[in-house]
Amino acid sequence: MNNRMRVFQAVFVVFSLAILPVASVGASPDPVRGKHAMVASQHVLASQIGAEVMKRGGNAVDAAIAVGLALAVVYPEAGNIGGGGFMLIRRPDGKAFAIDYREMAPKAADRDIFLGKDGKLIEGEGGSTVGYRASGVPGTLAGFDLAFRKYGSGKIKWADLVEPARKLAADGYILSYRLANLLHAYRNTLSRYPDSNRIFLNDGKFYQEGDLFKQPDLAATLARVEKDGAREFYIGQTARLIADDMKANNGLITLDDLKNYTAKEREPLRGTYRGYEIITMPPPSSGGIVMLQILNMIEPFDVKSMGFNSSTELHLYAEASRRAFADRSEYMADPDFAEVPVSTLVKRTYAAQRMRSFDPRKATPSATLKPGDLNISEGTETTHFTVVDPAGTVVSNTYTINDLYGSSVTAKGTGVLLNDEMDDFAARPGKANMFGLIQGERNKVEGGKRPLSSMTPTIVLRKDGSPWFALGARGGPRIISAVVQSVINVIDFDMDIQQAIDAPRIHHQWLPDQIYYEQFGISADTMNVLSSYGHKFADRPGNIASATAIMIDKDGVRLGAIDSRSDGAAVGY
């Protein structure tokens, strides 16, 4: 096993340890009910803040911004202002919008930035996964600012959305058992960087469950952003602090990189599954395309009659997933830098072509399965939250700093944990990244480019065009599997939203050629059948991502759901 695969296996195990054991479908609690509005996020304090914003007249976009800023304080392993992501918005008039605030590569980055003189990938400090050179230019505040200016209610001031997060950072909050232990688990990397060691590890004395955790540096940064607006992060004192710390530590991000960062609007990607419209994120997120490809490949089959979690159903899913991920490796990247054949990849005729080699009783070895032959002619760690407001506006937002605690670097004097998103580029095209994903030349490192992502914020509509449910997940490439299988669980197996995201699931990403599975998620008999087909299983089980969702029932009641694999809370009224 090479070093990159060892890292992937370690990430798979650590992520599983960071979230709670999965519940069975039958053991799932009822979703949280709210007659008017709902917020579902990974921390109860953030969800409460979002609900309060809507009670004061804000819309789902306002609430989502307040939730995202609060998570930067109370969920530091993934919530952030030092990373980036995607926000999907659908208004009651049916119009949908996609905001891309993915991180960008610094101008100084190039194709071989993470290769040593021997042509091998640099591991550790100086590489793409840890330290100052691992960070892309953060986009979160720019994305929130764009969403606020264009799609906010106009009834809530920017400062009022930042203040709750600033107050949490200044006054502190009580650490949970999970977060206290997770901080300790990441002590080896966080301790390498003085501000990270001081803030998150208490200078090596470590925090315990029940401690009051304050972040005064982050509070000061949020105070500047509250007073001077989101641009302060990119051109003000915060920008200078980040750039100076980068320069002092051989980092890549400069003041010009921060000044020149822009969030972008993209056209949402749309598809259907069994007559239900699906709205999701286009590139540079791969999640939407891969999800629609998988659904297109399995739609001709009577999945419901196969039975949930049967060997027949899991075999079909694994085979469709391996084909879609093979295409991901070759064709997907930042559309501003590379030709991405979106319309071809999501065609049903192309899905049928990809499934011609499907054998209902035999696994297709990934070594023999190449990306599809296209005639191209067209120009871990993560968190997700979902918001529905009283008017019916839906926001599905996923953002990330990549690995848990990102690059482990906290920019000096800012309290801001920076991402290690440069690893989502193909640091060496054709070789695996930290998640074991193979990525092609289209996703090579280039200055100003956005790395490919697996984030999959999604909104599903009823056949009458009204919003039905919205969801997303955390967990690297496993995000896609969590979202796709949750959609299948609702549509094909008639599960409620809590059951759908709690249900056991699997993950197959083409390479490595193996099924990742959950403890108690597959019976021994089913594994034996799948093994007889030629499927290989990962050495050990681990949770397949963690989803967050809201469903709107036929009476308009909002139903919030937090995956039993993780913590968090849905708050409605």
Domain definitions of the chain by residue range: 24-264+381-422, 266-378+456-552
Active site (catalytic) residues = 382
- Which residues, 6+ apart, have CB-to-CB distance to 118 below 8 Å? none
Other C-beta atoms within 10 Å of 343: how many?
A: 10
Q: What number of CA atoms fall less than 13 Å from residue 269's CA on the CB side? A: 27
CB 38 within 8 A of CB 572: yes
| pLDDT tens sequence for the chain (573 residues) | 444 444 444 444 444 445 544 544 556 899 999 999 999 999 999 999 999 999 999 999 999 999 999 999 999 999 999 999 999 999 999 999 999 999 999 999 999 999 999 988 999 999 999 999 999 999 999 999 999 999 999 999 999 999 999 999 999 999 999 999 999 999 999 999 999 999 999 999 999 999 999 999 999 999 999 999 999 999 999 999 999 999 999 999 999 999 999 999 999 999 999 999 999 999 999 999 999 999 999 999 999 999 999 999 999 999 999 999 999 999 999 999 999 999 999 999 999 999 999 999 999 999 999 998 664 333 257 999 999 999 999 999 999 999 999 999 999 999 999 999 999 998 777 677 767 777 778 999 999 999 999 999 999 999 999 999 999 999 999 999 999 999 999 999 999 999 999 999 999 999 999 999 999 999 999 999 999 999 999 999 999 999 999 999 999 999 999 999 999 999 999
Distance (Å, rounded) from C-alpha 316 to C-alpha 326? 16
Question: Has domain 266-378+456-552 been given CATH number 3.40.50.300?
Answer: no
Phi, psi at residue 413, to the nearest 5°? 85, 0
User: For position 439, what pLDDT does the model report?
Assistant: 74
User: For position 380, what pLDDT does the model report?
Assistant: 54
User: For position 172, what pLDDT does the model report?
Assistant: 98
User: For position 437, what pLDDT does the model report?
Assistant: 72
Unique residue bearing structure tokens 């992502």: 453
Tell me if residue 547 falls in helix, strand or coil: strand
User: For position 15, what pLDDT does the model report?
Assistant: 45
Task: Name which of 523, 138, 493 is nearest 304 in CA terms.
Answer: 493
Task: Name which of 278, 32, 61 is nearest 151 in CA terms.
Answer: 61
- Which residues, 6+ apart, have CB-to-CB distance to 51 below 8 Å? 37, 38, 39, 63, 571, 572, 573
Distance (Å, rounded) from C-alpha 64 to C-alpha 146? 13
CB 214 within 8 A of CB 169: yes
- What is the reported pTM? 0.94
User: For position 191, what pLDDT does the model report?
Assistant: 98
The CA-to-CA distance between both ends of the chain, in Å, stands at: 51
Tell me if residue 329 falls in helix, strand or coil: helix
CB 336 within 8 A of CB 278: no
In residues, how long is the chain? 573
Looking at the DSSP bridge assignments, the partners of residue 285 are: 453
Diameter of the chain by CA atoms?
64
Task: Name which of 233, 282, 275 is nearest 255 in CA terms.
Answer: 233
Helix (H) or strand (E) holding 332: none
